[in-house]
Structures are given as structure tokens and as C-alpha cells.
Copies of this chain bind each other. A is one copy, B any other.
Amino acid sequence: MKKKDYLKREIKHIDIKTFNAIPIIEQFDKTAFQARNLARAARIYDRMLSDNDCSIILCLAGSLFSAGLRKIVYDMVENNMVDIIVSTGAIIVDQDFFEALGFKHFQGSPQSDDNELMELMIDRIYDTYIDEEQLRVCDMTVSQIADSIEPVPYSSREFIKFMGEYLKEKNIGKDSVVRKAYEKNMPIFVPAFSDSSAGFGLVYHQWKLKDKPKVSIDSAKDFLELTKIKVNSGETGLVMIGGGVPKNFAQDVTVAADILEETVNMHKYAIQITVADERDGGLSGSTLKEAHSWGKVDEGSEQMVFSEATIALPLLASYAYHRGNWEKRESKNFNSLLDKKGGVTNDTKKGFFDQRCRHS
């Protein structure tokens, strides 16, 4: 088989506007097990959207956009159904930015001959194919963006803004989450940014420049920025698809806020769709009840759903979309808050640390 025979059946992104999941979710709500958990999660999300005081953090992990869920997130961004994204490099760079450059993902098979795929430079994600040569173009575009900006440390959010600006200037990627977020002043954080196509681009950038000043990505700055948003928000809600670094990072921000402010609320709402399991002690499957012991997530409005995301997210998002409570929400423009000089109060709460920092 030739490469073009493998790369034939394009993944098409699900459009939550074209079907109304309200009747399904309402029936799920009267049942049991995961159907009911999904309905409960959908209702909590709808409550977040109805709560004027609540900023919504969407955490995304797993190969979600290559699997056809990109447009769902795009619609959530466009319609103010989310205020902040925390995600992985794979989703934001290898998948969203990649498609913005004009490339596609393709349906494949988990029973492929992986040796043949490798020789054809086709990468496989379970039942999906990606053209590795196109991915290299994506890497190099990141590298070129790095070459074009001032060689200092950036938060991943700042760098992703440049990526959005790049798309807008080239007038490509109109269906891109990166571009839409840029246009709406909505922050996207990728705490493990170099663990992706972006990493390849930045490695090339840094390696080429040898001892000259270089762009770097400062993940501590990401953490500080997200913390500042929390400090300047009232309530917050977490919508988590998958676990991993985005889940932990976004949960932790209430603890970090504790360092910069005396009074900060836990996340008031939290939902997670995941197939991970608590029994290995890993973070991805740790319960939201457990997160309460850490002071991260409040009790009462939290729900985990045990389902693979491609099935559960479309139902949850379609429900919330068709409920329409997002219509009263406005863009929070958190990028403006973060980028404005002196916009964030910055007074050290000495007392807290004097009291606690007893070691050494």
C-alpha cells in the first residue's frame, strides 16, 4: 500500500449544534451508573454556565482533537462556554495548530503494520493516522515563530498567543482553537509545552542559536499567571476531559493562590470525563473527593464520569449548548488582565510564610 492509500479517510469534527442531546441527557438523569453520572456532570456544567460569578477552566488531555473533538472546543470558545484552557502540547500544537496549517488527520486501524507505517512516515494514534512529514512542517513553523520574537522566557500562554497571531496574519486556520482564543483574548496554558511538536521546534531554535540569546518557555510563569487569574476571579469551575498534567495543574492553582492571597475559594464546581481509575494512586484517576482533602475542589458539585471522551464529551457539550445558558455570558478577556502592567495586585503576604516556613 502507498502512503496516499493510508491517508484517505479524513477525520471530520463533530458539530454539537447539529444534534440536541437534551432529551438523551434528561433520560440518563433518571437512570444509574455512568449514564446518570454523565447527566449529573452535564447539569453541573450547565450550572457553571448559569453562575454569573464563575470562571470556567477547560482541561484537555489525550488525543482529543485528532479524534474529531476539535470543533466542539472551538464552539465552546466562540460561545463563551469556557474562559481558560489548560491542555497538552499534543492537542494544542500537534493537532489544533497542525490542522490550522491546512493538514488533516485520517481514520486508520489499530491492527496496522506499524513497520510499514514507519517506513511511509505515517504516525499512528490507536486508529488514526498522521503524516509525519506534515508534522515536521508544524515543528518548523513553531521554530520560525520562535526565531521571530524577542529571545526571552515566555509563559506557554504568551507563546501560544504568538501562534494565534501567526495564523491570523497568514489568514489561515479559521476553525482553529488557537486562533479563536487569540482573537477572544482567552488564555491557553500548556504546562508541559516542550513535550510536543512545539518542543521539536523549540529544540531546533535553541540548538541553532548555540550560545546566543534564545526563546525559552517558563512553566513557572504559566503557573503564576493561572494563579493570578484565580486570584482575580470569584468562583471557578473545572471541566476536565482526561487527566494528566492539565488536571493537576488547574486543580493546584487554588493552593498556589493561597500563597498570593489570604482568601481564595476552592474550585466550586468540578467535573471529569476519564477512563482512569483511582486504584493505582495516579493523579489522572484520583477522585474529586480526594482533591477536596488537598483544598482543591469543593464538595457537593463535583462529578466524575467513567467514559472514553469521544462518546461522552459530544453529549455533554451538546446538552450545555442547547440549554443556552451561555448566552448571558461574556468573554472574560483574561489575556488582557495578564498582559497589562500592574494589573494584578502583588503584595507579599509575609505572615503566611513566616508562620509556615519553619524548615532550615
| Residues of chain A whose beta carbon lies under 8 Å from any beta carbon of chain B | 10-15, 18-19, 21, 23-24, 27-28, 30-36, 38, 61-63, 66-69, 90, 101-102, 105, 107, 110, 112, 114-115, 117-118, 122-128, 132-134, 136-141, 144, 153, 170, 191-195, 199-200, 202-208, 210, 215-224, 227, 242, 244-245, 248-249, 252, 255-256, 259-260, 275-284, 286, 289-290, 292-295, 299, 306-312, 314-315, 346, 348, 353, 356-360
Contact = CB atoms under 8 A, between A and B. Distances in A.
Contacts of A18: 23, 27
A42 to B, nearest CB: 12
Given A203-B259, A293-B114, A356 B308 contact: no
A91 to B, nearest CB: 11
A107 B280 contact: no
A356 B136 contact: yes
A83 B188 CA distance: 35
Contacts of A203: 220, 223-224, 227, 256, 259-260
Contact of A259 (B19, B134, B204, B357): B204
A279 B249 contact: no
Contacts of A252: 195, 199-200
Nearest to A12: B30
Contact of A219 (B118, B137, B193): B193
A187 to B, nearest CB: 16
Majority SS at the chain A contact face: helix
Give 7 nearest A-B pairs by CB, closest first: A31-B68, A35-B310, A216-B218, A202-B220, A12-B30, A137-B359, A192-B192
A90 B245 CA distance: 11
Given A27-B19, A63-B282, A192-B245, A202 B223 contact: yes
A140 B200 contact: no
A208 B200 CA distance: 32
B125 A286 contact: yes
A36 B62 CA distance: 16
Contact of A123 (B222, B280, B294): B294
Contacts of A114: 289-290, 292-293, 299
Contacts of A242: 280, 282
Contacts of A292: 114-115, 118
Contact of A220 (B36, B62, B194, B314): B194
A290 to B, nearest CB: 5
Contacts of A122: 293
Q: Which of A15, A206, A244, A358 has the most B CB atoms < 10 Å from its CB?
A: A244
A35 B68 contact: yes
A195 B35 CA distance: 27
B280 A277 contact: no
Contact of A170 (B118, B206, B311, B360): B360
A11 B32 contact: yes
Nearest to A127: B32
A123 B293 contact: yes
Given A207-B224, A245-B192, A256-B203, A293 B28 contact: no
Contacts of A206: 220-221, 224
Q: Which of A14, A140, A307 has the most B CB atoms < 10 Å from its CB?
A: A307
Contact of A33 (B117, B153, B310): B310
A193 B259 CA distance: 18
